[in-house]
Every structure is written in structure tokens, then in C-alpha cells.
A = this chain, B = another copy of it.
């Protein structure tokens, strides 16, 4: 029995709200149950130094949590003077996941910076971030097309992400915090609309896991991500 009374293969209620704040070229509030993340996409007409003059663009991401998005207050990273290893891992993952579906040459010499800021956390912040960030990215790209700066979209496919894990011996989809903090195996899966894998990161928090368990987890993830991509499409259609 899951603490939330969900079925093993059941996502939390997912909401994707576009145009959430007014300044960014793309601005999305994504909610996976009580996990809430603001994802903005900012278009900059420059590229990082290592890409200067190479005729291609870049998509990158930064991630943060409000200090009291969590159950007990975390120290503010700007006050500590550095980002934690966990923060850096997550923002690198978000950036790689989005770049996997973007034709960077077709984007032209410009950069899109995605900011994912968690305002309330209940597990799965990185997968919610990727899922919401994709929608913000589409909005920013559509703005470039509408402004005549791009002729066609450089985005080749959808991308979304979900966590899966073995909780009390059973594979389950979309872990919330009570499950995440008490599971044996935790896996984050990022997939495209075509059903191919972009990232798989599985960790045995307690017992190491078998090949059979991994296969069961991937089955759950595939089905969950298909639903998430369907929700992205609905959000983008409105």
C-alpha cells in the first residue's frame, strides 16, 4: 500500500500551467502532486564562450530550491557561497535532457536558459522540472518563430521524465517524498515522445537490485512518461 493510496502504476495529479510569470519567454508552473516547480525559459542572443562562432546554439539549465520548499529549512545556497553537488547534478541532467531533443545548429547562435525553481517539494523535483521545462522551452521557441527569428522549430521531439522505485518490495511509479526517503531503489528515467531513452539513473539506496526489478521499473516508467507527454501536448494546445 502506498502512503498516498495510489496504485503502483499511478501518477500523482499533474498540472502544467503556462504563462505563469510574465517576464520570461516561456514560464510554466508544473505540479506533480505537492511538488511545485516554476520553469522559465530565457532567450539570450549570445552563446557561451566555447561555442562562439561555431554556428550553433545552446540550451542550458539552472536549478534551485527555495529554502523552505522542504520540510525543514535548508541553507540558502547563495548565502553559503556555492551550489551543492546535488544541485549541480540536477541542473546538468535537465540541460542534457533538453538538448537531446533540440537541433542546436537549427537553433542558431543563441542560448536558451532554463531556470527550474522549486517552490514546494514532495519528491521528484528533478523529473517534474524536466517535464515542465520542456513546455517552457517550446513556448520560448514559438516566440522566436512568431518574431521571425526562426523559420522552423529546432525541437525534434517531446521529452519528459519520471521517477520509479522499489518501495516495500514493489515497483511503483512517481515516488513522493515519503516513498523516496524510504525506498530500496530509486530510478529517474527521461524519455522522448518516440519512446526512446535519453537518461536512466538508477541507484540502490538499500539493497542492490536485480535485472528483473529493473525491467519492471522501466515498464512503469515507459507508461508514465507516455502519459506525461500527453499532458504536455494538452497544455501546449490550450
A residues apposed to B, CB below 8 Å = 21-24, 27, 34, 36, 38, 40, 42, 44, 62, 64, 66-73, 76-83, 85-89, 91-92, 96, 100, 113, 115, 117, 119-121, 187, 191-192, 194, 196-204, 207-211, 214, 218, 222
Contact = CB atoms under 8 A, between A and B. Distances in A.
Given A27-B68, A209-B196, A62 B40 contact: no
Contacts of A121: 23
Contacts of A68: 21, 23-24, 27, 40, 42, 115
Contact of A115 (B66, B81, B204): B66
A197 B204 contact: yes
Given A21-B69, A197-B211, A199-B201, 10 more contacts: A23-B121, A38-B66, A38-B119, A40-B66, A64-B66, A67-B115, A85-B89, A88-B89, A199-B203, A201-B202
12 contacts: A21-B69, A24-B68, A42-B72, A64-B66, A66-B115, A68-B115, A85-B91, A96-B203, A100-B204, A197-B209, A199-B203, A200-B200
Nearest to A86: B92
A65 to B, nearest CB: 10
Contacts of A81: 81-82
Contacts of A40: 66-68
> Which one of A40, A44, A80, A91 has the highest number of Cβ atoms from chain B below 10 Å of its Cβ?
A40
Nearest to A192: B208
Contacts of A71: 23
Contacts of A203: 96, 198-199
A34 B218 CA distance: 35
Given A68-B23, A202-B199, A204-B199, A87 B78 contact: yes
Contacts of A89: 85, 88-89, 92
Contacts of A73: 24, 42, 44, 113, 115
B78 A82 contact: yes
A197 B208 contact: yes
A22 B44 contact: no
Contacts of A69: 21, 23
A199 B207 CA distance: 11
B66 A62 contact: no
